[in-house]
Structure 1
Amino acid sequence: MHSIVKLIGLIGVPLLLLSLIGATALTWRRYDMAPINTFGFVVAVALGIGCLAFIENFDTGQPWFVDDNGDRLQHEDSVAELKLDLDLAEEKRVLAASKVARAAFDRQYSYRDAIPREIDRLRGESASYRRWHNLLQWTLIIFSAAITGVTALYDTPQPGKGILIGLGGTVTVITSVMGYFKFKERGFNLQQTADAIEQHVTALDLAIAPYNLGDEKENLRLFAENVEALRVEQRKREQQLDQPHQGQQEIV
């Protein structure tokens, strides 16, 4: 999410301003671009401020917490201090775990209890990717239709040419973003993995195949193996999506 907002702020806003400048240069002394420039400038400023506010609130490394009165407050520690605290906490956890050796059955049972949270996380990320895909897809459809409408309405080159330049540039950016981030594919893979893991959870709870061995320890061991195999497969699919087309073929 952070990277997408940064991409919009760093590319979308300058592209919009450049489109306005290009349209103004093409229509100089032939068409009054002042209303369109004013509207576009206001949109660019609002978009830039919105992206900046999002980044400042969510990507500064300063986590939020809720006090006793229910108010959201920002942590006063720096990012370096928080990372140090996290490293120290991890070392303490490792030391405590080494002193208290748990049986494999206990670890597998705890693993089973943590799976519902993992399913919720996968589905939450899947829903987020689907929302981004649908938003960009509808924007692409609307702007593509607008290009056809502007072409049909304006017989003269101006001001239709300037509007077409802005619409075409926006369509190009949206298409590139969708092709780079692959929101639809990522959302589908996450949802598929969540559904598969939930199927194993249901089978374990109902003691049906393949978890009808009669031995609870053996069932939990088999369940952990199957779920981990699904998670490994999910990570491989994510790596394939991060690779260029040629790299994907080599991985497969």
Structure 2
Amino acid sequence: MADLRRRIRNRRLQVLGLYGTPSLLVFSFLSWFATKNIFWLNKDMPGSAHGAFLAVSLFLVGAFVLQLVIEFSEDLWDWEDEGTSVSKLKLDLELAEERRILEARRLTPSAVERQASYKERTPAEVGRLRKESRHYRRVNLWMQWLLFMSSAGIAAVTAWYDPPQPGKGALILLGFTITVITAANGYFKPRERAFNLQQTADNIEQNVTALDLGIAPYTQEDAVNLELFATTVESMRVEQRRREQQLDQPHQGQQEVI
């Protein structure tokens, strides 16, 4: 199953490169045209700028041709799962999961053993929560820095240019950046997501430490402590998912849920 998940990830990247490179090539040409008309509308575009866009376009063309040759040629390169759709790999993964479930049912351990196994898997869950929390904190940090720099850039460009090209184009670009970042920050709420994930990870880790040390509330027999631990951690995970769902709702929907 781990191998199938790896193959699915790799195949997704292959398909993304195969179909995404032409899109990037078109976007490169459009950016080339837009840059010329925004910053150098009534004057010649510098040769260095033309050269940069040309180099990017040639690189994308070469990458696309190379991917096509690798995808449809077996002699040049042995690309794993070439010509195989992602849906077929997902079907193979589902079949493998069904076989695993049937085998697990045949060898199902006792409830105490399952609870002990659940406790051993908890540190991995804490690590996952902390990793996602760090990701959202970095996203929020980059958004804030882009917002600060764009806001400062608007004031600087306004003071420097008065306001013909390329100053007007720079102002449009900076204003667009501020609008997009503000909207994305308000919609995805990376700061709130990072806080919730970090809080859940800290609470789960606190329960793991209490269980290992045998302190309250885990001061009874091992079987009772493991049952209480599994119940508590699952409640925390359900609460975390509920908070994520609330963040995905619009503001009015959040008030109704609360």
Tell me which interval the TM-score lies in, with the shorter structure as reference length: 0.7 to 0.9
- Residues in 1 aligned to 2:219 and 2:194: alpha-carbon distance in whole angstroms: 32
Identity value in percent: 53
- 1:96: how far off? 1.7
Consecutive unaligned residues in structure 1, runs of 5 or more: 57-72
- 1:34 partnered with 2:49: no
- 1:100 partnered with 2:107: yes
Match of 1:140 in 2: 147
Whether contact under 8 Å (1:108, 1:224) holds in the other structure is: yes
Whether contact under 8 Å (1:123, 1:190) holds in the other structure is: yes
Match of 1:250 in 2: 256
Consecutive unaligned residues in structure 2, runs of 5 or more: 1-11, 13-19, 68-78
- 1:130 partnered with 2:130: no
Aligned CA RMSD, in angstroms, stands at 3.4
Query: CA 1:121–1:74 in structure 2 vs 1: closer, same or farther (change >3 Å)?
Result: farther
Whether contact under 8 Å (1:212, 1:219) holds in the other structure is: yes
Query: What letter matches 1:23 in structure 2?
Result: I
The 3-state SS of whatever aligns with 2:158 is helix
- Residues in 2 aligned to 1:16 and 1:226: alpha-carbon distance in whole angstroms: 53
Query: CA 1:35–1:140 in structure 2 vs 1: closer, same or farther (change >3 Å)?
Result: farther
- Residues in 1 aligned to 2:239 and 2:167: alpha-carbon distance in whole angstroms: 50
Match for 1:227 among 216, 219, 233?
A: 233
- Residues in 1 aligned to 2:98 and 2:107: alpha-carbon distance in whole angstroms: 14
- 1:158: how far off? 4.1
TM-score (norm 1): 0.74
Match of 1:183 in 2: 190
1:19-98 counterparts in 2 under 5 A?
20=35, 23=38, 28-29=41-42, 32=43, 34-35=45-46, 38=49, 42=53, 74-76=80-82, 77-98=84-105
1:134-213 counterparts in 2 under 5 A?
134-213=141-220
Query: CA 1:185–1:33 in structure 2 vs 1: closer, same or farther (change >3 Å)?
Result: farther
Whether contact under 8 Å (1:130, 1:184) holds in the other structure is: yes
What whole-Å deviation, never above 9, does each CA across 1:5-50 have from its counterpart, x for those lacking one? x9xx99xx699679647635xx744xx37249938x849x68xx6x
Query: What letter matches 1:223 in structure 2?
Result: F
Query: What letter matches 1:114 in structure 2?
Result: R
- 1:118 partnered with 2:145: no
- 1:131: how far off? 1.3
Query: What letter matches 1:250 in structure 2?
Result: E
What whole-Å deviation, never above 9, does each CA across 1:186-213 have from its counterpart, x for those lacking one? 1111111111100000000000111112
Match of 1:239 in 2: 245
